[in-house]
Amino acid sequence: MAGLEGKVALVTGAGGMRGVGRATALKLAGQGADIVLTDVHREAHDLPPGEVRADWRGIDTVAEEIGALDRRCLPLYCDLGEPDQIQRMVEQAVDHFGHIDILVNNARAIIGRDKVPVTDLPQEVWDHFLAINTTAVFVCTKFVGQEMVRRGAGGRIINIASNAAKQASAMGAAYSASKFAVLGLTQASAMDLAPHKITVNAVCPGPINTDRLSYWERDRADEEGISLEQFRGQIVERAGMASPLGRIAEPEDVANMVAFLASDDAAFITGQAYNVNGGLLFH
C-alpha cells in the first residue's frame, strides 16, 4: 500500500482507548501521515471503566502515541453538535498544517437511550443522533471539502457508517436512520467532489470489540448485578459465535479498510460503502 508521507489526516471521535478513531489515527500515522485528532470532552460518568482505571486522557493521550511514531499531531476538542465549533476546528487544522488531505468522519452518538420502540423514542434522542451521526458528517465534509477544493490537490473523505446503514433492526430507529443517511450523503458528496479528484467512501462495520460506553449495556449490567465489562464480554462472545469468521471486528480491522481508502491505491474508488463485518451482512 502506498505511503501517506506528506499527508494530513483529520480523524473525529479519536479519543477512545479502544476505539476505531484511535486505531485509525495510529494506522494512518504509521503510514506517514500527520494527524489532527478531535473528540468531545467526556465526563467521568460517560467513560468506560477501563479508561477511568487507566487515567486515560482522550485525544491528549493518543496525541502522545502519535508523537512517539515521529509524526506531528494536533489534538482539538470539539463538540460536533455545534457547526461553529466544527468550522473553527477545520480552520485551526489548516492554520497549523496548511492543508487537510484525508477526513475520517468516525464520531458517533453514545448509543443506548435510542434502544426503544419508535413509538417510545423521545424526539430529543432522535435529534441528537441525527445531529452527531449525520449532520456533523455533512458539516465536516462541507468545510474540509471546501479546503480540499481550494487547494486543488484532491483528497479522501471516509465516513464510518454501520451494518445498520444497510439493514435496520428493532429498537434502532434513530441509529439506523442516521447511518442510512450517511450512505446517501456519501454517494451525493462523491458525485459533487469527483471533478476535484476528491473521493468519498463509507466503511460499514458490524459489531466491534471496543469498550465505548453504551447506556443500554450499563443499565442491563446493573439490572443483572454484574460489571459493565462482564456484560460487554457476554455480548462480544455471543456476537462472535454468530459471525461466519467466528469473531467480531477489532478496531484495527476497520482502520485497515480506512487506510486503504485513504491511499493512492484507492484513487479510482468513490461513492462506495464497504462492509467490514466478518460475513454477517453481504449487501
Instruction: Please tell me the predicted confidence (pLDDT) of residue 1.
Output: 47
Look at the pTM and tell me if it is higher than 0.75. yes
Contact in structure between 190 and 183 (CB atoms under 8 Å): no
Over residues 8-12, mean pLDDT = 98
Q: Distance (Å, rounded) from C-alpha 113 to C-alpha 218?
A: 11
Q: Could you confirm whether 77 is annotated as catalytic?
A: no
Q: Is the pLDDT of residue 2 over 60?
A: no
Instruction: Please tell me the predicted confidence (pLDDT) of residue 137.
Output: 98
Q: Distance (Å, rounded) from C-alpha 122 to C-alpha 57?
A: 32
Number of helices (H), then strands (E), belonging to the chain: the values are 10, 7
Q: Could you confirm whether 142 is annotated as catalytic?
A: no
Lowest mean pLDDT among 68-72, 91-95, 150-154, 213-217: 213-217
- Cα distances from 129 to residues 97, 135, 228, 265, in angstroms, run 31, 9, 23, 33
Identify the DSSP state of 5. Answer: T
Q: Distance (Å, rounded) from C-alpha 223 to C-alpha 216?
A: 11
Over residues 26-52, mean pLDDT = 89
Top pLDDT among 157 and 233 is at 157
Q: Distance (Å, rounded) from C-alpha 275 to C-alpha 154?
A: 25
Over residues 125-135, mean pLDDT = 97
Over residues 75-101, mean pLDDT = 98
pLDDT tens digits for range 159-201: 999 999 999 999 999 999 999 999 999 999 999 999 999 999 9
Q: Which of 7, 27, 115, 179 is catalytic?
A: 179
Q: How far is CA 149 from the centre of its chain?
A: 23
Orientation of helix 59-68 relative to helix 20-30, angle to 10°: 20
- Sequence-distant (≥ 6) Cβ neighbours of residue 91 within 8 angstroms: none
Instruction: Please tell me the predicted confidence (pLDDT) of residue 112.
Output: 81
Label residue 48 exposed, middle or buried (CB < 10 Å: 0-12, 13-18, 19+).
Answer: buried
Q: Which of 175, 197, 215, 274 is catalytic?
A: 175
Please, what is the average pLDDT of the chain?
Answer: 93
Contact in structure between 232 and 266 (CB atoms under 8 Å): no
Lowest mean pLDDT among 18-22, 187-191, 238-242: 238-242
Instruction: Please tell me the predicted confidence (pLDDT) of residue 217.
Output: 75
- The number of CA neighbours under 13 Å toward the Cβ of 174 is 26
Where in the chain are the domains? 8-212+250-276
Q: Distance (Å, rounded) from C-alpha 263 to C-alpha 9?
A: 11
Q: How confident is the model at residue 213 (pLDDT cuts 50, 70, 90)?
A: low
Lowest mean pLDDT among 31-35, 42-46, 50-54, 188-192: 42-46
Q: Distance (Å, rounded) from C-alpha 118 to C-alpha 29?
A: 41
Label residue 57 exposed, middle or buried (CB < 10 Å: 0-12, 13-18, 19+).
Answer: middle
Instruction: Please tell me the predicted confidence (pLDDT) of residue 48.
Output: 78
Q: Distance (Å, rounded) from C-alpha 173 to C-alpha 215?
A: 16
Over residues 210-233, mean pLDDT = 77
Q: How confident is the model at residue 216 (pLDDT cuts 50, 70, 90)?
A: low
Cell triple for residue 83? 457547526
Contact in structure between 100 and 148 (CB atoms under 8 Å): yes
Q: Is the pLDDT of residue 212 over 80?
A: no
Instruction: Please tell me the predicted confidence (pLDDT) of residue 101.
Output: 98
Over residues 142-158, mean pLDDT = 98
The correct answer on CATH 3.30.565.10 for the domain covering 8-212+250-276 is no
The helix (run of H) or strand (run of E) holding residue 89 is: helix 83-97
